[in-house]
Amino acid sequence: MDNSKFKGLFSALLTPFGKNGEIKYDSIKSLVDFNIANGIDGFYVGGSTGEGLLLTNEERKEVFKCVKEAAGSRVTLIAHVGSISTKAAQDMAKCAESLGYDAISAVAPFYYSFPLQAILGYYNDIANSAELPMIIYNFPASSGFSLTKDVANELFKNEKFIGIKHTSGDMFAINGFKNLNRDIIVYNGFDETLLAGLAMGADGAIGSTYNFMGKKFKQIINDFKAGNLEKAQKGQNEADEIITEMIKYGVFQSEKAVLTEMGVDMGECRKPFLPISDECRASMKKVAQKLMSE
């Protein structure tokens, strides 16, 4: 299988909400165009950044539909269908398939501390429910499940599995995933360590800050590939200064504030996330001005 369309820089698409928590579908469309204009290679829809687990299953499918309508076939689309219910995830996987998505992805089922056999069953059941490639979303800090090389080798016996989104600071794990029994795509998941992930062999990245720093991160990737490590480090350092500022006010709130300043009205996060504070807006206004002047 030709996996080239799965390599590159993917935005974990944010979901904009109005004051009463309603989804702002028009803003989703603007955000899709904004990202594509900045050179993004694809979208990861309805994941952590998209507040996917704060949406109803019907809303998650509506968002998949809206993004597909907006993006068409211009970029690669990955639908995050992860849920603590296998059945709900399978239903969303079938929806993504019918809409023409390129792949599905799922975080491990959480909350009940499922045993390993149950987690393996969950992944195979979801992957086998649709004719789409599957990307495992490895996010140990939130799911409580940390994918190992051995378990990955077990899962990747199923040909449907093509990659891993690795959202963890464990860079050694990337080495393991790049040396499985067969070749797979590995995405770096934390934007603040993209350069480290590339150095360990990551094929691409999926992240939230690419929604508004797509150009900057593309440059980092190009500099890395050209062997210009010093320049790549400088770019990563500039991005990390911004991410450090965002962590103070809440990453998703800050991202929405920045994008709103940049002309895409992103509204608020959904409860129980807190509203965007005035301090956050003031700080992100400066960040937006800096980014727009570059």
Using CB under 6 A as the criterion, what x/- string covers residues 264-293 for binding ligand MN9?
A: ------------------------------
Q: Which is nearer to ligand MN9, 26 or 241 (CB)?
A: 241
# binding residues, ligand MN9 (CB under 6 A): 15
191 contacts ligand MN9 (rule: CB under 6 A): yes
253 contacts ligand MN9 (rule: CB under 6 A): no
- Is residue 112 part of the annotated active site? The answer reads no
Instruction: Select from 8, 109, 163, 207 the one that contacts ligand MN9 (CB under 6 A).
Output: 207
The distance of closest approach from Cβ of residue 14 to ligand MN9 in the complex, given in angstroms and rounded to an integer, is 10
Residue among 122, 123, 137, 210 flagged as catalytic: 137
**Cβ contacts of 107 within 8 Å, gap of 6 or more:** 47, 48, 80, 82, 137, 139, 142, 143
Using CB under 6 A as the criterion, what x/- string covers residues 222-251 for binding ligand MN9?
A: ---------------------x-------x
Peptide bond into 275 cis (omega under 30): no
Buried b vs exposed e over 177-212: b needs ≥16 C-beta within 10 Å? bbebeeebbbbbbbbbbbbebbebebbbbbbbbbbb
Residue 124: C-alpha distances to residues 19, 112, 178 (Å) = 39, 19, 21
Backbone φ, ψ for residue 161 (5° rounding)? -80, 125
Question: How far is the C-alpha of 182 from the C-alpha of 15, rounded, in Å?
Answer: 35
Q: Which stretch binds ligand MN9 (CB under 6 A): 24-32, 65-73, 121-129, 183-191?
A: 183-191
6 contacts ligand MN9 (rule: CB under 6 A): no
Whether 164 and 187 have beta carbons less than 8 Å apart is answered as yes
Instruction: Select from 11, 27, 49, 138 the one that contacts ligand MN9 (CB under 6 A).
Output: 49
260 contacts ligand MN9 (rule: CB under 6 A): no
Question: How far is the C-alpha of 95 from the C-alpha of 90, rounded, in Å?
Answer: 9
- Is residue 210 part of the annotated active site? The answer reads no
Q: Which residue is nearest to ligand MN9 (CB)?
A: 207
Question: How far is the C-alpha of 80 from the C-alpha of 91, rounded, in Å?
Answer: 12
Instruction: Select from 43, 190, 212, 249 the one that contacts ligand MN9 (CB under 6 A).
Output: 190
No. of H helices and E strands in the chain?
Answer: 12, 8
Q: Which two tokens stand for residue 275?
A: 């509203």
Q: Which residues bind ligand MN9 (CB under 6 A)?
A: 12, 47-49, 167, 189-192, 206-209, 243, 251
Enumerate the active-site residues: 137, 165
